[in-house]
Amino acid sequence: MSRAQQRVTVGLLAMPDVSSATLYGIHEVLAGTRRDWQMLHGGAPVESPFRPVVVSRDGQPLQAGNGVRMAPEASFAELPRPDVVCITDIMLSPGSDMQALYAEEIAWLRAAWAHGATLASACSGAMLLAATGLLDGCEATSHWAYCDHLAREHPRTRWNADRGLVVTGPQQRLVMAGSGVSWHMLALALIARYASPEDAMRMARIHLLNVNDISPMAYASLTHGGRADDPLIARCQLWAADHYRSASPVTQMVEMSGLAERTFKRRFVLATGMSPLDYVHTLRLEEAKQMLEATPLPVEAIAVEVGYQDASFFGRLFKRQVHLSPAQYRRRFAPLDRQLRQAARAA
């Protein structure tokens, strides 16, 4: 399958005991991949590389385990060969008899697997995935309250309650998230694998996924807002995107505009809501964030790479805008970037 040409169909399994919150949370993250980043940055509308489909045994409306009315979009017969199937958390106690409750779902999962699908589970959804027998001999994870029972019921699987994400099985086609909101990592891992690690990081930042106690400003894209409606200023923005490392980018933009300096600066503020110099800073800092996430370069070297000769000034500016120092930002986001790249390489 060419990822550039064909959307990835993800079947989100709807059942009477499923949690609709997780199911629709994953649906929203996948459906918004690329689309939401473009929207926030004023770019041309784009389609998500994913086609999430809520699927059930008969395609009929049902009530989820948390009481929410769900309307599946397809039955098993209408979606026989999804690229990915997600089993979200199931609101049943450990030890529930999956074979008795969900024999049709287990059969459909095994058929999808036989056709090459990747199977993914979040939290207690591991109970249903384990019932397929496909986890035998594999590493696995689930909610901490379920792992002891699952280890007794499926002794050929190595259960790890302390792992938030496990990618395992033949061709790494089994992806499992552990406790609580680690479904975030499941969604991001799928985006990293089937779209790109960069797309996954963007969705993490848009939705503040795995936010803990970090300021939302650490996740914010400093360059959101898109191009100005003023054609002259928009042309300067395009130039700045490629030349922000220059020693005097504002002076060069003034010269390129053909306007008097004061007139140019007033027109730039009117069009973008910020001064030309502040705009250059946002471009530089956004690039610095990417480098802190994805490279081992020292902070001082990154400062020079993005256009600052004074690393101390860069550090103060970064902390004022991002609410974290460069070193704090790297400690927070670089591990997530590495995890997503590992998930992408596992494909």
Sign of the CA dihedral running 303, 309, 312, 318: negative
Average pLDDT on 61-65 reads 92
Average pLDDT on 293-307 reads 94
Q: Give the whole-angstrom CA distance, residue 94 versus residue 125.
A: 11
Confidence of residue 337 (pLDDT cuts 50, 70, 90): confident
Q: Give the whole-angstrom CA distance, residue 203 versus residue 197.
A: 10
Contact (Cβ atoms closer than 8 angstroms) between residue 85 and residue 112:
yes
Which pLDDT does position 340 carry in this prediction?
78
Of the given ranges (19-28, 61-70, 165-174, 330-339), which has the lowest mean pLDDT? 330-339
Which pLDDT does position 318 carry in this prediction?
94
- Averaged confidence pLDDT in the chain: 89
Residue 184 has pLDDT above 90, yes or no: no
Average pLDDT on 49-68 reads 94
Give the other-Cβ count within 10 Å of 283's Cβ: 21
Residue 4 has pLDDT above 60, yes or no: no
Residue 6 has pLDDT above 50, yes or no: yes
Which pLDDT does position 322 carry in this prediction?
87
Which pLDDT does position 281 carry in this prediction?
94
DSSP notation for 74-123: EETTT-S--SEEEE--B-S-TT--HHHH-HHHHHHHHHHHHTT-EEEEEG
Which pLDDT does position 2 carry in this prediction?
40
b (16+ CB within 10 A) / e for 142-173: bbeebbebbbeebeebebbbebbbbbbbeeeb
Q: What is the pLDDT of residues 70-123, one digit of tens each?
A: 999 999 999 999 999 999 999 999 989 999 999 999 999 999 999 999 999 999
Average pLDDT on 309-322 reads 94
Which pLDDT does position 220 carry in this prediction?
53
Which two three-digit tokens encode residue 198?
A: 């960069």
Residue 131 has pLDDT above 80, yes or no: yes
Which pLDDT does position 144 carry in this prediction?
84
Residue 300 is which amino acid?
Answer: E
Q: Give the whole-angstrom CA distance, residue 23 versus residue 73.
A: 13
SS3 (DSSP) at 168: strand
Confidence of residue 10 (pLDDT cuts 50, 70, 90): very high
- Which residue ranges form the domains of the chain, and what is each CATH number? 8-207 (3.40.50.880), 231-336 (1.10.10.60)
Which pLDDT does position 343 carry in this prediction?
73
SS3 (DSSP) at 307: coil
Percent of all residues in the chain with a pLDDT value above 90, rounded to a whole number: 66
Q: What is the pLDDT of residues 242-277, one digit of tens each?
A: 999 998 999 999 999 999 999 999 999 998 888 999
Q: What is the pLDDT of residues 198-233, one digit of tens each?
A: 899 889 888 877 545 455 455 456 665 667 789 999
Confidence of residue 155 (pLDDT cuts 50, 70, 90): very high
Which pLDDT does position 211 carry in this prediction?
45
Please give the angle made by the CA atoms of 173, 176 and 180, to the nearest 5 degrees: 160
- pTM for the structure as a whole: 0.70
